[in-house]
Amino acid sequence: MIELTDVSVSYNDKVVLSEVSLRLTERRIGVIGSNGSGKSTFARLLNGLLLPDHGTVTVDGLDTKSQAKDVRQKVGFVFQNPDNQIVFPLVEEDIAFGMKNLGFDKATIAAKTEEALKRYDLWDHRSHAAQFLSGGQKQLLAISGVLVMEPSYIVFDEPTTLLDLRNKLTVTRAIRELEQTAIVVTHDLDLIADFDRVIVFANNRVMADDVPEVAIGKYREAMGDV
Amino acid sequence: MFDLYRPGTSFLHRAPAGGKVLALAVLGTLTFLTDDIRIIAAGLAVALLLYPTCGLTLKNAWAQIRPTLWILIAIFIAQVIFNTWQLGVFVVARFGLLLLLAGLLTLTTRASDMIDGIERGLPFLRLLGVNPAKVSLALSLALRFIPVLAQITKDVREAQRVRGLENSVIALAIPLFVRTLRMSDDIADAIEARGYRP
């Protein structure tokens, strides 16, 4: 379980998240809100990329402030733009990066790389330059690079924003099929329509927290889409 | 030299990455210890022969030279004006040889192997307060992001052309600089999120 207790975050004296307390226990959680509402800040808190100014964030009891390394292994993070997440030139090298950082042995790295690439039909591209993959393939590569680190939770920060419809559907399917808990920050309301829970951020606070139908309804209402 | 790895089974593909990096450093230095054009010409011939031997094409070899063609021409013209045409040929040939050798390294070596090799080969850097792991990751990031930066430059140039600013260096440089800085923040976060601890 990921738990936020009375969490606040500020940048240059500007409050970007205020007094948020949440317990994240469901398998599929959507996070929506207008631009600047604090949802990306919320996402970055969950694996310790950002630390709260006030309050605590714990992942299965581990504090993101004092046990950052263990938290990072438990919580994977997939960014909006896969081009900024793929750090090695070749597909298979990039998959191996996270595993090497965690100290996996060579045989394990090779086996898990093969498994992950075959899962997303990237095996034939293993020795290719990542720059030549399509947008959807790059996002699947980014997801693979996180999955092989065996996280219990994966946070997605607007994973389909830069994708065309075909690639969006591919990535949506990949998220739905994950065994891990997925916390998805998005503007794509279709993506989270069948999730277990949706949290709506507005004015740097939680405005609604409910099942998708209710939470998305409140969000639409707040945005004037009624 | 920023061309990417081509899979293969040649002796250079199988050679240890650290050895290849060291060999490149030694050969590169040696080219500056000779002023004999015949030695440089022999080196060029051997380098060109190595491309097909390693399953690469002469097109791959030309791809190493092509991006620097205008620089080579400028160097040659400068040498002809200020020295002699013979020296111009020599300098350009030496530069070309270095590019071909560097290309052989990147075309036959995975970036990850090169990084491991560099990390193993540069422990003395720690004595100078430099972390070899950071140096090798920086090299890998350069190989990965040069094409990405080239694409961003193209995008910004197109956007400025639409606004009639195609001849403004500042109109290209500022958005490129801002986007690159933003991108570098995301990349740093991504590296951290994937457990990197140098």
A3-13 pLDDT tens trace: 999 999 998 88
> Could you give the CA distance from residue A16 to residue B21 in angstroms, rounded to a whole number?
48
Q: Quote the pLDDT of residue A89.
A: 85
Note down the domain range covering A152. Answer: 2-222
Ranges of residues in chain B whose predicted pLDDT is under 70: 1-3, 198
Would you give the DSSP letter of residue A19?
E
Q: Quote the pLDDT of residue B76.
A: 95
Quick check: B110 contacting A, CB < 8 Å?
Answer: yes
Q: Quote the pLDDT of residue B3.
A: 53
- Interchain CB distance below 8 Å, A79 and B195: no
Q: Which of A69, A84, A130 sits opposite B190 (nearest CB)?
A: A84
Quick check: B9 contacting A, CB < 8 Å?
Answer: no
Provide the chain B residues 122-151 that lie in CB contact (below 8 A) with chain A: 140-141, 143-144, 147-148
Q: Which of A47, A85, A101 sits opposite B196 (nearest CB)?
A: A101
- Interchain CB distance below 8 Å, B111 and A85: no
DSSP chain B: --PPP----SHHHHS-HHHHHHHHHHHHHHHTS---HHHHHHHHHHHHHHHHHTT--HHHHHHHHGGGHHHHHHHHHHHHHHS-HHHHHHHHHHHHHHHHHHHHHHHHS-HHHHHHHHHHH-GGGGGGT--HHHHHHHHHHHHHHHHHHHHHHHHHHHHHHHTT-TT-HHHHHHHHHHHHHHHHHHHHHHHHHTT---
Global pTM reads 0.78
Which positions ≥6 away from B38 have C-beta within 8 Å? Answer: none
> Could you give the CA distance from residue A36 to residue A84 in angstroms, rounded to a whole number?
21
> Could you give the CA distance from residue A147 to residue A115 in angstroms, rounded to a whole number?
10
Over the stretch A211-224, which tens digit does the pLDDT of each residue have?
A: 999 999 999 999 88
Q: Which residues on A lie below 8 Å from B191 (Cβ)?
A: 87
Q: Check pLDDT > 80 for residue A175.
A: yes
Provide the chain B residues 70-89 that lie in CB contact (below 8 A) with chain A: none
Over the stretch A35-68, which tens digit does the pLDDT of each residue have?
A: 888 998 999 999 999 999 999 999 999 999 999 8
Q: Which of A79, A127, A149 sits opposite B190 (nearest CB)?
A: A79
- Interchain CB distance below 8 Å, B140 and A85: no
Which positions ≥6 away from B184 have C-beta within 8 Å? Answer: none
What is the tally of structural domains in chain A?
1
Looking at every residue in chain A, the average pLDDT score rounds to 91
Q: Which residues on A lie below 8 Å from B4 (Cβ)?
A: 89-90, 129
CATH number where A37 lies? 3.40.50.300
User: Could you tell me the two tokens for B51?
Assistant: 């491309």
> Could you give the CA distance from residue A46 to residue A165 in angstroms, rounded to a whole number?
29
Quick check: B163 contacting A, CB < 8 Å?
Answer: no
Quick check: A72 contacting B, CB < 8 Å?
Answer: yes
Residue A69: closest CA among chain B residues belongs to which residue? B195
- Among B193, B19, B35, which residue's Cα sits nearest to residue B120? B19
Q: Which of B183, B186, B194 sits opposite A97 (nearest CB)?
A: B194
- Separation of CA B88 from chain center: 23
Over the stretch B80-97, which tens digit does the pLDDT of each residue have?
A: 999 999 999 999 999 999
- Among B75, B103, B127, B86, which residue's Cα sits nearest to residue B2? B103
Question: How close does chain B come to A116, measured CA to CA in Å?
Answer: 16
- Interchain CB distance below 8 Å, A89 and B4: yes
Q: Quote the pLDDT of residue A226.
A: 63
Rounded to the nearest 10°, the torsion over CA A113, A116, A118, A124 is -50
> Could you give the CA distance from residue B45 to residue B173 in angstroms, rounded to a whole number?
40
Starting at the edge strand found earlier in the chain, the sheet holding A62-63 runs: A14-24, A2-11, A54-59, A62-63
Largest CA-CA distance found in chain B, in angstroms, rounded: 56
Q: Which of B4, B147, B183 sits opposite A84 (nearest CB)?
A: B183
For chain A, percent of residues with pLDDT exceeding 90: 67
> Could you give the CA distance from residue A208 to residue A219 in angstroms, rounded to a whole number?
8
Q: Quote the pLDDT of residue B1.
A: 45
Q: Quote the pLDDT of residue A24.
A: 96
Minimum mean pLDDT among A22-36, A45-59, A67-81: which range? A67-81
Residue B152: closest CA among chain A residues belongs to which residue? A83
